[in-house]
Amino acid sequence: MASYLRLIRIRCLLLLLFCIAAAASEAVRLEVPLKAIQHSASYNPQLQDFPNERLYRAYLVIQRFKSTITSDPKNVTATWTGHDICGDKNYLGFYCSTLPGPDKKLTVTEVVLNGFGMHAPNLHGFIDQLPDLAFFHAASNNFGGDIPSLSELGYLYELNVAKDVPIHPASNYIAGGSGVDIHRGNCFGAILNFTFHLRTRDMKGWGKGMIPGATDAKTLLLNYNNLPGPLPADLGLSKLSHLALANNKLTGPIPPSISNLQDSLLEVLLLNNQLSGCLPHELGMLTKTAVIDAGMNQLTGPIPSSFSCLTSVEQLNLGGNRLYGEIPDALCKLAAGPAGRLANLTLSSNYFTSVGPACLSLIKDGVLNVKNNCIPGFANQRRPAECASFHSQPKTCPAATATHVACPAGAADAAAAPADRVAKDYSSYVTYATLHK
């Protein structure tokens, strides 16, 4: 029965992602009509023109960011004018919802700039100045500078999704309530529990609304943006549930503060950057994370013993780095037994020299990829001279230890829950599904 319900949820999410992708593609192809512009460029609304001060402050932030944009091939910013930020015609890419509480104040909670091809020097003073932002998606643009600090973006909403499945509603209007059974169109049906009302994008036009990120958290999707510089040191002070920063130019280490996301982070995608430094022990503290992809970087060191705590991980990709030592037996055991969730472990194109006994069956089953390493007796490995050259270089990362590490409490809970090890389609994950230009 559990397997059947899991299959149903996966199919629903796949259909949903298809609907969202189709709608986004349609929006990207549209040219912004001049009649959609409600006010002339000289019109400067004042505080009294807005429903509340939050929207006025958002207006000032948007206009400041608009003035920094150096290229807008789809003329999207032509709609960013006037006071009607949450209307159906203006401010393409911005979506609003009403905050919970007695005041019922409308505010900007989602920004979707995906595929617009905009150029701007940086995102500072924009997403970090929209305090109620819950969802930000801006793939396939060209935003320079480093990633702004996210620690001040306190996510104020309560959004509970049954079974912790991150679902983005594709309906025209969703009314809040307790245990509302929602069926709209042909996209999906799910049991959602809302504490506020929200109205989502009209798939047929420029309808406005709010698409929530995920359970009690925020989503930041910035693939393909040429973002340089390091990850914020205070990254872990946010409440991110989905973080996608693939195909950028990020440098430096993965900050230790990422371990503070152990109660919220469900997926993290750092694929194809220039991240360096030792593979951090703190990454193994993400006990609720199903996707960890840091492939094609310059990370080095052995795999920390803390990775045995990743009891929720389904997709773990560390291929294309400079990792070495033994592939730990404890890591491979995450795919074993009734609670094993690990369906893909990619460690190819590193410099590992041995594998634990539990790893051998994973290689045979196609779960573990160890090609292009330095493991004696294995096929498809690096040339001996290449391995010798790498291992002769000084190593500064902490040595691997077989000592048992104290895992967060959530790791034991996840390990105790039965699960089927199923190799899901990549599009069933939010971060991988958005990994398209």
For residue 70, the model assigns a pLDDT of 94
What is the reported pLDDT for 420?
56
Q: How far apart, in whole angstroms, are the C-alpha atoms of residue 57 and residue 59?
A: 5
Predicted local distance difference test score (pLDDT) of residue 343: 94
- Those residues whose C-beta lies under 8 Å from the C-beta of residue 78, and which sit 6 or more positions away, are 32, 34, 36, 37, 72
Q: What is the pLDDT of residue 81?
A: 93
Contact at 8 Å (CB) between 223 and 139? yes
pLDDT value, residue 220: 81
Return the number of other C-beta atoms located less than 10 Å from residue 393's C-beta.
11
CA nearest neighbour of 254 among 230, 271, 272: 230
- 94, exposed or middle or buried, with CB in 10 Å at 0-12, 13-18, 19+? buried
Q: What's the pLDDT tens digit per position in 365-404?
A: 999 999 999 999 999 999 999 999 999 999 999 988 766 6
The answer, as to whether pTM is greater than 0.85, is no
Locate 188 and state its tokens: 């999906």
| pLDDT score, position 154 | 58
Task: Name the superfamily (CATH) of residues 227-433.
Answer: Ribonuclease Inhibitor (3.80.10.10)
Please give the pLDDT value at position 376.
Answer: 96
DSSP H/E element including 10: helix 2-29
At residue 410, the pLDDT reads 65
Taking 70 as the pLDDT cut, the residues of the chain under it are 1-43, 99-101, 150-217, 337-339, 402-404, 410-423, 436-437
Every domain of the chain and the residues it spans: 2-123+145-194, 227-433
pLDDT at 139 (0 to 100): 80
Q: What is the pLDDT of residue 167?
A: 28
Distance, CA of 331 to CA of 333 (rounded, Å): 5
- Looking at residue 434, its pLDDT comes to 79
Pairing of β 274-275 and β 249-252 = parallel
